[in-house]
Amino acid sequence: MHNVTELKESKGRLSGEGRREAILDVATEIFLSEGYASASMSTIAARLGGSKGTLYNYFRNKDELFTAYVQRSCAIHRGEIADLLQEEGDARTILTRFARGYLRAFTSEQTLQNWRVISAETTKAPEIGRLFYESGPLTGARMIADYLEKAVAKGELIIPDIMQAAHQFTSLIHGRMIKARLLNYIPVPTDAEIDAEVNSAIFVFFAAYGQRT
């Protein structure tokens, strides 16, 4: 992501997709610090060092800009963990590694602040909630389901309902810790705390779906 100084220095050189990403960088900073309701297109344009006219060339209004922010936030977080399911190893090794990366990513302060800002708008704008769920949690569950299906085909797991198991897997990983983090009840967990939480979740998941010996 660009910082504000870099954006102002390079605004004449950016065009097309680069300019759009620069706008989203600044919009993200403002949405996270001020919330959706307090953020304005004028503030975002001023932070960029350009005019509102330039901003409106890329996003027709604040709602459209917020929608793009939601979609990009989900894509960034998904990208942080997706590759972990592509690595070599048995199902327990791969899922343990994935779970650690997942929990580390989703207990970070920026990720949680994204959740807070987006969730705050879903009562007034249910379509934002649907977009966030489909772009984030649901897409993530489908990604896990794709891997579980391969593990079942290799005989490593026995799962009658793949999507249900995918949702159960994520719930086992983050149910307690992410709720505590969202409410600022606990600080960012240490690697040891993440390992303990993940190991417990993996034990339960494989007790339910692991191949019987």
Reported as a single tens digit per residue, the pLDDT across 155-164 is 999 999 999 9
CATH number at residue 178: 1.10.357.10
Task: Please give the Cα distance from 62 to 60 (Å, whole number).
Answer: 7
Task: Please give the Cα distance from 84 to 102 (Å, whole number).
Answer: 9
Provide φ and ψ at 157, rounded to 5°.
Answer: -135, 155
CATH number at residue 31: 1.10.10.60
Identify the sign of the CA torsion 121, 127, 128, 132. Answer: positive
Are residues 46 and 101 both part of a single domain?
Answer: no
Total structural domains within the chain: 2
Provide φ and ψ at 210, rounded to 5°.
Answer: -70, 155
Reported as a single tens digit per residue, the pLDDT across 100-151 is 999 998 899 988 988 899 998 888 889 999 999 998 999 999 999 999 999 9
Domain of 171 in residue numbering reads as 73-209
Are residues 165 and 81 both part of a single domain?
Answer: yes
- Residue 25 Cα distances to 14, 22, 44, 128, angstroms: 13, 5, 10, 19
Does residue 182 form part of some domain? yes
